[in-house]
Amino acid sequence: MTKIRQFQVTLACTLGNFLIGLLFVWPSYTLNLYTSKNTTLLSKPMTEIEGSLLGSLPCLGALFGTVLSGIIINGFGRKIGGIAIAMPYIASWLMIDLSSSAIVVLIARFLAGISCGATVVHAPIFISEVADESVRGLLASAIAFFYCFGVLVSYIFGWVLTFRYIVWMNILFCILYVALLLSIMESPVFLLKKRGPEAARESIAYYKGLSSNSKEVTDALARLKQEIMPAVELIAICDTDELEKEKLNDDNGVEQEKMPPYKILFLSPAPRRGFIIVALTVSVQILMGMVAVQVYAKTIFAQAAPNLSPHLCSVLFALVLFSGSLFCGFLSDRFGRKPLLITSSAIVGVCLFGMGVITHTNLVPAILTAVLMLIFCFAFMMGAGSVPYVLLAELFMSDVQSLASMILMNLMWIVNFFTVGIFPFMIKIFGMHGSFYIFALFGIINVLVGIFLVPETKGLTKGEIQELLLGRRKTMR
């Protein structure tokens, strides 16, 4: 129960990822309402170009939101900054509800995308700054879990609710997001930088559920002060009581002149290696073809089970993704990040290769393709699709976390845009089976990245993880 407030802040942050899932799925069952000649939602039907922008504009907005996120959360804090991030969400759904103009709806989608981009940076930073090592994997994996949950709920909404009720439910969840953020305390990292050690001490005690004078809180504050002290290279943390007291009594410790975050990130070996690892795992997991499988899923389900409702098929697809992310949350702190990433990527590679063979030869029933697709989705979210965001929350110290998250999430949006853009050309040149073979190759690459580059961070403090990235830590816990 001492960690209940860490779960509370995780719920508050990741509800933003839940909103992303709702937002991105919404056009799949709304577009036909906007483009219909008899539409009553708009003054005139959307054109083909406007219909395309309905789904793609949030990605463009996300690029701007990712850039703005660092300014917002470093300037206003993780709590108030999170509330500011939620405002475009609310504004966008209100604009959609109240307007009958296609242009206004598209502007609303762009605004919502700004919140999306900022949210994917905000959540891992806040969670990493309050989570204990024993539950950090579980809490960080909640980012992918809540996104998948949002996708599942959105498909259900599209199945059972009318347009207006869907919009109102989205507004309600946005308000709940703000309410949860209002109920939590500011991050100890932000408080230490802006208000000093005593404010940070109270925040640490709050999130650990302990007295502010307890030794565990004092130890955590000492480590935190050392983490944000200027240094060209991070050193191992000394655990002696004398050193901790000395650091806590050093009023000038946080006021020393700091190196710029970009220099620390790209010139210091440990942060630089962490950046390369996360950049690789984030990029390769996108290039493993989840977007392509989502596009092809409707065709596969239509061939395998033609009597099933399209809504039921969509819910089944989202349910498998949700289950995989749920497994990642429970398994990452039990078995570690590295085994999950390797095992998941290997299964994904086998499934993609199998789907390529089946679509190439047509020698087996379509139901087998559907089964392989569902196994692929489950395995992907169990590790390859979730672990990179756990690593994003773990591999960086607080002085570079915001900058690293901003750059890496922009990379994610760019690679996603690139993959979606070239996928139609891949089908024309290589065929669907050839595309699956290419995506399977990236599954193999991710296995190699997991084996040779990704460190095992289960149960390690951030200081110990930096030592591991430097190659100084020879044994694991």
Model confidence over 87-100: pLDDT tens digits? 999 999 999 999 99
For the chain, the structural domain boundaries read 1-196, 260-477
**What would be the CATH architecture of the domain defined by 260-477?**
Up-down Bundle (1.20)
Q: Return the number of other C-beta atoms located less than 10 Å from residue 134's C-beta.
A: 11
Exposure letters 207-220 (e unless 16+ CB within 10 A, then b): bbeeeeeeeebbbb
Coil, helix or strand at residue 193: helix
Residue with tokens 């809180």: 217
Angle at 174 between CA 168 and CA 175, to 5 degrees: 90
| Cβ neighbours of residue 47 closer than 8 Å, sequence gap 6 or more | 102
Which pLDDT score is estimated for 253?
44
Angle at 462 between CA 458 and CA 463, to 5 degrees: 120
Which pLDDT score is estimated for 473?
52
What rounded mean pLDDT belongs to the chain? 87
Residue 205 burial by CB count (10 A; 0-12/13-18/19+): exposed, middle or buried?
buried
> pLDDT of the chain along its 477 residues, tens only?
568 999 999 999 999 999 999 998 898 889 889 999 999 999 999 998 898 889 888 988 999 999 999 899 999 999 999 999 999 999 999 999 999 999 999 999 999 999 999 999 999 999 999 999 888 888 999 999 999 999 999 999 999 999 999 999 999 999 999 999 999 999 999 999 899 999 999 999 999 999 989 999 999 999 888 877 644 333 333 343 444 444 445 444 444 456 788 888 998 999 999 999 999 999 999 999 887 777 667 667 777 677 778 788 888 889 999 999 999 988 888 899 999 999 999 999 999 999 899 888 888 877 888 888 899 999 999 999 999 989 999 999 888 998 999 999 999 988 887 887 788 788 889 988 899 999 999 999 999 999 999 999 998 888 889 999 988 654 434
| Cβ neighbours of residue 66 closer than 8 Å, sequence gap 6 or more | 117, 118, 120, 121, 406, 409, 410, 413
Domains 1-196 and 260-477 share a fold: yes
How does pLDDT run across 151-194, given as a tens digit for each residue? 999 999 999 999 999 999 999 999 999 999 999 999 999 999 89
CA distance 195 to 177: 26
Q: 1-196 sits in which CATH class?
A: mainly alpha
CA distance 37 to 23: 24
Which pLDDT score is estimated for 46?
94
Q: Return the number of other C-beta atoms located less than 10 Å from residue 328's C-beta.
A: 30
